[in-house]
Amino acid sequence: MRDDHVFDGIADKFAKNIYGTTKGKLRHTLLCDVLTPHLPNHAHVLEIGGGTGVMTAYLASMGHKIVLTDASKDVLVQAEELFSQSANASFRDNIEIRQQFLQDINDFTPFNVVVCHAVLEWLDEPYEALSMLYDRMTAGTTLSLSFFNYDANLFANAIYGNFDYIAKGMKAKKQVRLNPKKPLSALKVLEYCESLGFSIVEKAGVRCFHDYMRDISHQASKYDELLALERQYHKQAPYMWLGKYFHIIVKK
């Protein structure tokens, strides 16, 4: 039985917690920064687990064709509302919406770009999902993959003094529904992608500084300076390895 996490029943909370904050705004901006240069003209994009449609709206507004998929009906309702409320509603013609689990997507042949952001960490078998993606993607297809970074999560919990939590393998007795169930090591994911046959094109950290700020009010009051700093260092070691999320562009 599939035990992947689905956001039905908490879609409003999800949207507010993720995209109604500086962390969501910053994550989206940095993902767009890295992904955009790797998009072909008039791309045909499959977005897996696209949630409330923020990335889909961005890509569609650039003229790309997008199939937005998510396992949750509730978040796709929010995506449709986002599209309808946009000042540039004409991009809606570039979008097809499907309620679908990643594992149930069989035909990848129409797509030259696959976007899978913040999905793996919610799956029961994330590495199995990566293998499936490789097997079903056609040669030459670009994959934009981001995921919650296990190593950055451990580092952050050490800073917060959560030593008992770390000692228990960072597994809470009661899983909070907005906390990713399986953070992944960036190095291990990179190694696994290469073992499958993917070529690594680009890698970057997402929120290498934001989540560690001692004065959290600066996340908003100094947002522009923070964004500039993230953009300057998020592709450089050692800072990229501290990104709360890790982002890679790979090609089959």
51 is in an annotated binding site: no
In angstroms, the CA 159 to CA 155 distance is: 6
Alpha helices by DSSP H, listed for 52-115, are 54-61, 73-85
38 is in an annotated binding site: no
CA atoms of 15 and 10, how far apart (whole Å) = 9
Distance of CA 218 to the CA centre of its chain: 24
Is 24 labeled as ligand-binding? no
The three-state secondary structure class of 41 is: coil
State the greatest distance between any 2 C-alpha atoms of the chain, in Å, as a whole number: 52
Is 49 annotated as a binding-site member? yes
* 5 carries a ligand binding annotation: no
Question: CB within 8 A of 163, min separation 6: which ones?
Answer: none
Which positions make up the binding site for S-adenosyl-L-methionine?
Answer: 27, 49-50, 70, 117
Which positions make up the binding site?
Answer: 27, 49-50, 70, 117
